[in-house]
Amino acid sequence: MKIEESKTLFEKSREYFPGGVNSPVRAFGSVGGVPVFVKRASGSHIFDEDGNEYIDYVNSWGPSILGHACGPVVEAVREACLYGLSFGAPTRKELVLGTLIRECIPSMEMMRMVSSGTEAVMSAIRAARGYTGRDKIIKFIGCYHGHSDGLLVKAGSGALTESAPDSAGVPASYTQHTLLARYNDEDSVKKLFSEFPDDIGALVVEPVAANMGLVPPKPGFLGFLREITAKYGAVLIFDEVITGFRMGLGGAQGYYGVTPDMTALGKIAGGGMPMGVYGGRKEIMEVVSPLGKVYQAGTLSGNPIATTAGIATIRTLMEQPGIYSSLEEKAGKLVKTLKETLPETWVNQAGSLFSVFFTKDQVVDFDTALASDTVKYGTYFHYLLEHGIYTAPSQFEILFLSAAHTDEDIEKTCSIIKDAAGIIS
């Protein structure tokens, strides 16, 4: 495979951007080699600067659930551009998107739009602290909630792959109120609440952990979190930046039937444009400025182009709810092939989300995920890439399917996975 253009672009980019990229995992640091520079994408396929074509399972890390350059989304965006790119004033479109979101996720009674998932979770926590008047929060080891200071503790994928779980540049005093629990471990949560019964303002969790590879919640785990937070008066925040509109229109909370106090959205909510949303119970959201005393603002918040892309994406999903069962079916076929062909691996799946770990033992949390052989993953990754399959350049990221993936794409991918098995055993 020829990747000369990508090589040249990467070398030049390294002079301008740390590691040659604008987000760390893109640099292929943990799998080695040169990242392919993407020129364009269409449906389930991406094309690099050297003209190579790949079936894409990264999907911009989740947003492109309808496939790249999806007709109705692109048309709506094209039209919206002609009306102006940003006003810094309220628009009808924000109301339309807000209405659609609340229709799908009724627990988001009131919400605020921001420009990224990081901002959404960071702001949800600020609101929860303002509402409860408590400083401490609980997060789970291996869950990622964006790169805001207080949440950059044992934060999964990016940080994990670099084997630097805590970031330099974050003062210890910023994370002293961040308490750590183990995913799927009820006792670790009980212990923290009994130690700090009156100090914990919020518990934030990925209802399906998707940033240490895919780790589904054990049956009853989310319900337990709902009960214990209610008992101690802490705000339960579901970080649905990945799972929102991915596990179904109602997100993971709809899928598992557990209702949080607050929810953070991103990725699909902007249909490929920068967008984050946080919201929840009205009495909590009423603490947010200008109504309440928790300050939070954004020049480009509720941007008309991003809201347009979000509206078009969510409307399309609402019109074609069959997309979700079809995504699960495609995921099922890939998971079956992975399980049957790759030796000494563990595969986790929830809805259409899945990932393969290069360890033969069950993966239920961060520690068990870390047992994976990342060198083997790198070999597997490069075999797939060279054969036209673009998956996550990290053992600790998951695969994303889109409505545009065809049976032919899936069959081709399965057959290449089978071939890959031969070279990594």
CA distance 222 to 186: 10
Task: In angstroms, give the least distance from the CB of 398 to ligand PLP.
Answer: 9
CA distance 122 to 86: 24
Residue 145 interacting with ligand PLP (CB under 6 A): yes
Comparing C-alpha atoms, which of 248, 185, 192, 193 is closest to residue 221? Answer: 185
267 assigned to active site: yes
239 assigned to active site: yes
In this structure, the strands spanning 200-205 and 136-140 are parallel
Identified binder of ligand PLP from the candidate list 9, 242, 288, 323, rule CB under 6 A: 242
Identified binder of ligand PLP from the candidate list 146, 150, 251, 279, rule CB under 6 A: 146
CA distance 51 to 232: 57
Considering the complex, state which of residue 6 and residue 123 has its C-beta at the smaller distance from ligand PLP: 123
Task: In angstroms, give the least distance from the CB of 90 to ligand PLP.
Answer: 23
Kindly write out the interface string for residues 256-295 of this chain, putting x where it contacts ligand PLP by CB under 6 A and - elsewhere.
----------x-----------------------------
Kindly write out the interface string for residues 181-220 of this chain, putting x where it contacts ligand PLP by CB under 6 A and - elsewhere.
-------------------------x----x---------
List the structure tokens of 260. Answer: 């949080």
- Cis bond before residue 290 (omega within 30° of 0): yes
Identified binder of ligand PLP from the candidate list 48, 56, 94, 239, rule CB under 6 A: 239
Other CB atoms within a 10 A radius of the CB of residue 5 amount to: 16
The strand pairing partners of 357, in sequence order, are 346
Residue 397 interacting with ligand PLP (CB under 6 A): no
144 assigned to active site: yes
In the chain, the amino acid numbered 303 is N
Among 144, 183, 256, 383, which one carries the catalytic annotation?
Answer: 144
Q: Which stretch binds ligand PLP (CB under 6 A): 8-16, 98-106, 217-225, 237-245?
A: 237-245
CA distance 315 to 93: 13
Considering the complex, state which of residue 119 and residue 409 has its C-beta at the smaller distance from ligand PLP: 119
In this structure, the strands spanning 353-357 and 346-350 are antiparallel
Identified binder of ligand PLP from the candidate list 37, 54, 144, 380, rule CB under 6 A: 144
User: Burial letters for 306-337: b for 16+ Cβ neighbours within 10 Å, e otherwise?
Assistant: bbbbbbbbbbbbeeeeebbeebbebbeebbeb
Considering the complex, state which of residue 241 and residue 389 has its C-beta at the smaller distance from ligand PLP: 241
Tracing tokens 């068990």 back to the chain, one arrives at 368
Q: Which residues make up the interface to ligand PLP (CB under 6 A)?
A: 116-118, 121, 144-146, 206, 211, 239, 241-242, 266
Which residues form the catalytic set? 144, 239, 267
